[in-house]
Every structure is written in C-alpha cells, then in structure tokens.
Structure 1
Amino acid sequence: MEPSDHDEPEAAGARRLTSTLPEFQSARGMLVSLAYRLLGSWHDAEDVLQETYVRWSGVDRATVVEPRRYLTRVVTRLAIDVLRTRQARRESYQGEWLPEPAPSDPFAEVDTSDLSLAVLHLMERLTPPQRAVYVLRTAFELPYDEIADILGRSAEDCRQLHKRASTALDRDRPRFEPTPAEQRRLLLDFVAAARDGDLARLEAMLQESVHEWSDGGGKRGIARKPLVGREQVATFFRRIYDDRELSVVPLELVTGPALDVRVPGYRHVLHLVIDGDRIAEIRIQANPAKLSALGW
C-alpha cells in the first residue's frame, strides 16, 4: 500500500526524532546532573529535560555547531526561568523549603561526588544567575567565556557572580567531612539513641550550634521553623523517634547516604551533615510531593 499524504508528515516526524535521539541520549547524564544541581528538584529537572528534548528535536541542525553546548545552554536557561518562577511561589510555601531527594541511578554516568543535599539547600540563597554560574563553573569547569555565552552576560560579570556565590556558600561548608561509611554509621546511631530516649547520648552526638530543618510542605505535623542548638534538637528527635514502631532503611541518594525513616502515619528522608565527629546539620524531607522520585 502506498503511503497517504496524511502518513508522510508523521513518518518524517518520526525520522527526525529518531535522528536526534542519539546525540541527546549521549549527553543525558550530564544534562540530568546539570538540571538537578540548578534546581534541587528531581521533577523540575525532568520537566526541563523534556522541554529541552522538544526544542532539540525541532531545531535546524545546520545552525548547531556543538550539540552539547547547545543543550547545556537550553537546560540552563530553562532552569533559570523555573527558579525565577519558583521564587514567587516560595513566599506562600508552608515551612522550610528543602531540596528533593533523588536516587543515584539516573546519574550513574557522571561524577556527583561533590553533590550534597546541604549544598543544594545552601544554593537556595543564591540568585538564579549566581546559581547558574556557580554550577557551570564549579561542577562542570566551563570557561567564563562559554558561561557568558550561555547566560548572555559578559565574562567579567560571570566571574563576579561566581565570586559572590562562592563566598556565600563556602563560609558554611563543613571543614572535616567523614567517609560515606562513617556517615551511615552515625545516621543509624543517631536514630537508635533517639528511639531509646537517650537524651545524653543524643546531645553528645550534636554540635552545640547544630541546626535542624524540616520540610513537610504543610502536609506533615513536623517543625515548620528551623531548630537551633543541641538541647532543642535532641529533645525534638527524642520526642518524634521515641516509638517502638519506628523503622529505618538505609538509602543511597545521588547526594550521599540517608535514611528512609518510617513512623506511624508517615515516612521521611533523614540526612545529616557531619563536621569532624559531630552532627552539624540535620534535614528531614517529609513532603510527599518531593518523595515520589524514590518510588514512595
């Protein structure tokens, strides 16, 4: 049977999509890492990648000299638009906004050893352009001239943005980070002490100035404001984990070790930042809308 006029555009479209797929797929690991670093949200990153592919499949190939550079520019600019829109929504968000945990599988092809939930949380302090420059320069080591082309700014402007971003982030980084194995051990020890109601042991594991953040999205009865100080944080966890029905399952996120903590009525991701041999920061992600990437 001869193809009809109706079939020809569909066939041409299928051929075009097929021809664009290999180049996009070869860059996908890098693009996923870029989008997640820029956004701190797995679902927003997926949306950005989907839109990037739509644009890539429709672009005139004769105008694209370097596909990876083109794709990097599209992902970055789309992510900046999302960040700017999200800033307005953040004003009505109930409680603390924390990054969305993501599994490690989609990032298998790229180095994410420098990525952590703490850094993603800290980057919420930055403006969208600062965040973009910081990620492109620090994580992907792009030259300032290329970053300037991606953002439509001057190279000197990008240098200044990176300097300000680095200053804002570096002052709050832990000085002595443990190995992943040590992190896993301390996570389990921390929950065990809280479940046992051992307040003295809990306090001994915490820095005096320890901070705790919880993100329930207004859907979970957890602390809506940050908790600060050893006594306050230890008391809080003794109260919420002092339950014999509590169970924990180790998690391997792209950002490092964490725990899937299950208490009657809900579950959450527990993440610690350890400086030396004590806990400096604690984050609880309990917003159901931010946990579906883990298959929950």
Structure 2
Amino acid sequence: MLPPDDDAADRFQPLRPGLVRLAYRMLGSIAEAEDVVQEAYIRWHQTDRSAIREPGAFLSKTVTRLCLDILKSARVKRETYIGPWLPEPVLETAGEDDLSEDLSLTLMMALERLSPLERAAFLLHDVFGLGFDEVAATLDRDPAACRQLAARARKNVRAERPRYPIDRQEGERMTDAFFAASRSGDLTALRNLLAEEVVSYTDGGGIRNAALNPLFGFRRVAGLFMGVARNDEGQLPPVLYRGLINGLPGFVTLEKDGMVQTTSLDIEDGRIVGVYVVRNPEKLGHLSGLAS
C-alpha cells in the first residue's frame, strides 16, 4: 500500500530545486531539466515510499538515469546542431542559489565535452557530494569504475575553473563598458577590454543570424562586434537585465528583431577572454517575460 498522496508532495518539494540543478547541469536545458524532474516526481508518486530510507538519493538516481537516457539521443542532435552549442542561460535570482559559483558557463561547456557517464559521476560526487557507493548504484557500475570516471572528468574540468573569482563590482564595470563599446563600434575601447587571445561563441541554433564557428583572437572578435554596431546604426538596444548569467557577468538585450539575447563575459586579469552570446529563441523562451 502506497503512502498518502500529500506525503509524496511534502517530501518531494524541498528536494525539487536540487534535482532541477542536477538535471540542468546534466542536460544544459532548463525545459528538459524541469521535464525530467516532473517525470521523477511521477515515479516517486507511484513508488512505495515507506521502503525508501533516503529520498534524496533515490530521486537523484532517478533523475540521473532519466538524463542519461536523454543524452543518448542528444548526442545525435548536437552532432547536427548548426553553429556553436551553448547551454540555456540562467539568470541569477535574488535569494536563490540557482547556480553554484564554481559551475559557470565555461564549466558547463567543459561538462559538455565529457561522456554522459563521466559527467554524471563528476556531478554526483564532486558537486552534489554523493559517495562512490551511491554513484555506483546510480550508474550501475562498480565504485572503482566510478572513481575513474570522476577522475577523468575532474582532469578535463579543472582547467576551466577560474583562477581568481572576479569582484562583482568589477564585473559590472567591465560588462557596462563592453556593452557600450561593442554596440557603438568603439574599436579603441574594445582594444582596452578584450584580451588578444579572446574567443567568442554565438549560439543562434540555425534560427537567428550567428557566427557558425567560434571566433578566436582580438581582430576577428572585434570585427564581429564592429559589424553588429554597423547593423544597429548607432542605436543601442534596450538592456533588460544586468547581472550574473550562468555565473558570469553579463546582460540581456532586446534586439531589433524584437527577440531577446544574452551576452556573458569571461574575465581574467582585467581583460575579457570569452564572450558567449545566446540568440537561439528555443533557449530564451523562459526570458521572454523580461521584455513585457
């Protein structure tokens, strides 16, 4: 006999935010993460919960396995994705721990380069603190294999961790300066902001105009934004949000086509080393309310 329905909801709701964070980090998609967590709730609702001693471990296992199933088909989709792939942008929400500070957009991209099992082992152990026995039960592997998976992932991810977290005020200053310079076509200001080895990723998903490959080096990145400024004809787009986007300083703008766009900046030693622009409307639907 299953416990009462209200017991299912009462025990599940406090765990939901953490499960969404786990699914988002696995999938890079807010909508898919929420769908996975809802499916996990349905399974939780249908389970004999009196036999479950650790609801958090049970639900983390369920969410991870659902994510692994999705990633099998996602790999095929990513191989045919038009242009650079970036995770869906998540804005910082006051009073909520939406993203841990050490999982920025650059780390999300590092996770994307891992195999699904490596990603799962790393997230479950290094980020969410599960022991390797629990990770092994989740992944149907022995603990030694899970240690190896996590170690390989850790080696690949370590290089993407920021050496020095940027001061929030400095991030805001750099963000404002980059917005003004990039959208007005101020090449001198861009020269003072961008590192020589800067890289730019623009994710349009084949739906909106975007560079089809990452752009490397000051000349190419500055050229991209000089072209954007010419297209804007000197009109700066409205800024709908300034703050952290996937742990990086950035802003959301309302573009000439009436659609929103996010821009995030990776800053090291006072220079911008990475510019990440999401234009794919399929990844921005959850931000449409900013424009209303």
Q: TM-score, normalised by structure 1?
A: 0.89
User: Could you tell me which residue of structure 2 aligns to residue 288 of structure 1?
Assistant: 281
User: Could you tell me which residue of structure 1 aligns to residue 223 of structure 2?
Assistant: 235
SS at match of 1:295: helix
In the TM superposition, residue 263 of structure 1 has moved relative to its aligned partner by 2.9
Mapped contact 2:99–2:246 kept (Cα < 8 A): no
In the TM superposition, residue 58 of structure 1 has moved relative to its aligned partner by 0.2
SS at match of 1:112: coil
User: Could you tell me which residue of structure 1 aligns to residue 256 of structure 2?
Assistant: 264
In the TM superposition, residue 251 of structure 1 has moved relative to its aligned partner by 4.1
Mapped contact 1:29–1:107 kept (Cα < 8 A): no
CA distance in 2 between counterparts of 1:159 and 1:270 reads: 36
| 2:213 is the counterpart of 1:225 | yes
User: Could you tell me which residue of structure 1 aligns to residue 272 of structure 2?
Assistant: 279
User: Could you tell me which residue of structure 2 aligns to residue 214 of structure 1?
Assistant: 202
Deviation digits for residues 204-229 of structure 1, max 9, x if unmatched? Answer: 21122111111101111111111000
Identical-residue share of aligned pairs (%): 37
CA distance in 1 between counterparts of 2:218 and 2:162 reads: 17
In the TM superposition, residue 148 of structure 1 has moved relative to its aligned partner by 1.0
5 Å-filtered alignment, 1:16-35, equals: 16-35=4-23
* 1:267 aligned partner, one-letter code: V
In the TM superposition, residue 34 of structure 1 has moved relative to its aligned partner by 1.1
CA distance in 2 between counterparts of 1:17 and 1:105 reads: 31
Equivalent of 1:128 in 99, 116, 121: 116
Where do 5+ consecutive residues of structure 2 fail to align?
Answer: none
**Structure 1 runs of 4+ with >6 Å offset:** none
In the TM superposition, residue 281 of structure 1 has moved relative to its aligned partner by 0.9
In the TM superposition, residue 153 of structure 1 has moved relative to its aligned partner by 0.8
SS at match of 1:259: strand
* Distance of aligned partners of 1:63 and 1:75 in 2 relative to their CA distance in 1, 3 Å threshold: same
Please identify the structure whose Cα radius of gyration is greater: 1
* Distance of aligned partners of 1:105 and 1:198 in 2 relative to their CA distance in 1, 3 Å threshold: closer
* Distance of aligned partners of 1:106 and 1:144 in 2 relative to their CA distance in 1, 3 Å threshold: farther
Mapped contact 1:227–1:233 kept (Cα < 8 A): yes
User: Could you tell me which residue of structure 2 aligns to residue 245 of structure 1?
Assistant: 235
5 Å-filtered alignment, 1:52-131, equals: 52-105=40-93, 108=96, 112-131=100-119
In the TM superposition, residue 19 of structure 1 has moved relative to its aligned partner by 2.2
CA RMSD of aligned residues (A): 2.1
In the TM superposition, residue 142 of structure 1 has moved relative to its aligned partner by 1.6
| 2:247 is the counterpart of 1:255 | yes
Mapped contact 1:245–1:263 kept (Cα < 8 A): no
In the TM superposition, residue 252 of structure 1 has moved relative to its aligned partner by 4.2
Mapped contact 2:249–2:264 kept (Cα < 8 A): yes
Deviation digits for residues 143-199 of structure 1, max 9, x if unmatched? Answer: 212111111111111111111111112224442331222222211101111233221
Question: In the comparison of the two structures, how many residue pairs are matched?
Answer: 284
CA distance in 1 between counterparts of 2:97 and 2:190 reads: 38
5 Å-filtered alignment, 1:126-205, equals: 126-205=114-193
In the TM superposition, residue 254 of structure 1 has moved relative to its aligned partner by 5.2
CA distance in 1 between counterparts of 2:212 and 2:55 reads: 44
CA distance in 2 between counterparts of 1:239 and 1:46 reads: 37
* Distance of aligned partners of 1:154 and 1:67 in 2 relative to their CA distance in 1, 3 Å threshold: same
Q: Compare 32-41 and 105-114 and name the one that shifted more.
A: 105-114
* Distance of aligned partners of 1:173 and 1:66 in 2 relative to their CA distance in 1, 3 Å threshold: closer
CA distance in 2 between counterparts of 1:275 and 1:205 reads: 11
* 1:237 aligned partner, one-letter code: F
